[in-house]
Amino acid sequence: MTMIPIWQENITARFADVDHSNRLTLAAVFDYFQEASIKHAGTLGVGIEAMKQTGVAWILSRITVRIERRPRYGDKLTVQTWPRGAEKLFAVRDCSILDDSGAILARARSNWLIVDLEKRRPLRPHLTMEHLPLNEGIDMVSERVINLEPREGMTKTGERRALYSDIDYYGHVNNARYAQWIQDSVDPELLEYAETLRLDIVYLQEIKLGETIELWQLPPQTPLTPMPVAEARDAQHCGQASNAPAFVFEGRRNGADTTSLKQEAVFRAELYLR
């Protein structure tokens, strides 16, 4: 089997992947990156079935996704992904989406854990990754994926129950579903008019079928009003993330202690949009 250091596949943006503004959603970008990463791992000999035979699995721990320009339904796209070595317990993987001219539309860096499926504990990734390409210097996101910290002043904004369509192959909520839950917590007009988006997620604990998760949020750090797409493209700040996230999210197990920052959080996320 020939090792492919950088995975590349050509796709067409589907009708189901765009919103009311006819532009690709954050959740769709997560789906594209997840699918390409799984396929590439398979060609490298560390795919789902190969890992399962040794009692381990890849579990996404942290990810930063930046959308710099949102494609539309029917656009021809190229999705790329490649491993970037290891940082302590994390295996690092970068991803990108290009348009038909080769311009970058979206980019990501993700941290993955290799988890013992029986003990549910992370293992050191080096033995699994020692024969994988390092792709040194091919950075899609230069900085490390950050570990989001607890924030004060959050308020409960709703709940979400993990249902059949949320659950993946491993029996927990799929990583891309978190992006969908976050989208659903934001004013639709803000998302429709946003041209550039960045979403950072830290996955802290798995969510199983039937569990109810409380959604907590900080209000926007700066006043946000919808801006027509044409104006957003011409705005001086277009493509620049603000210094503070527009929204801060945390998912907590239903009934968790709401008085302590040390309560049982299952995920944290920060969303920037322009």
Residue 226 has pLDDT above 90, yes or no: no
The Cα–Cα gap between 249 and 12 comes to 31
pLDDT, tens digit (0-9, with 9 covering 90-100), for 10-45:
999 999 999 999 999 999 999 999 999 999 999 999
Mean pLDDT (the chain) is: 88
Domain span at residue 14 reads: 1-145
Flag the least confident range among 53-62, 151-160, 242-251. Answer: 242-251
In terms of Cα–Cα distance, which of 145, 136, 137, 140 is closest to 104? Answer: 140
Whether residues 226 and 131 fall in one domain:
no
pTM summary value: 0.88
pLDDT, tens digit (0-9, with 9 covering 90-100), for 188-200:
999 998 999 999 9
Choosing from 145, 176, 201, the residue where a domain stops is 145
Whether residues 128 and 163 fall in one domain:
no
Choosing from 94, 129, 145, the residue where a domain stops is 145
Q: List the CATH number of the domain containing 14.
A: 3.10.129.10
The confidence band for 228, taking pLDDT boundaries of 50, 70 and 90, is: very low
Whether residues 125 and 151 fall in one domain:
no
pLDDT score for 254: 77
Flag the least confident range among 70-74, 96-100, 157-161, 259-263. Answer: 259-263
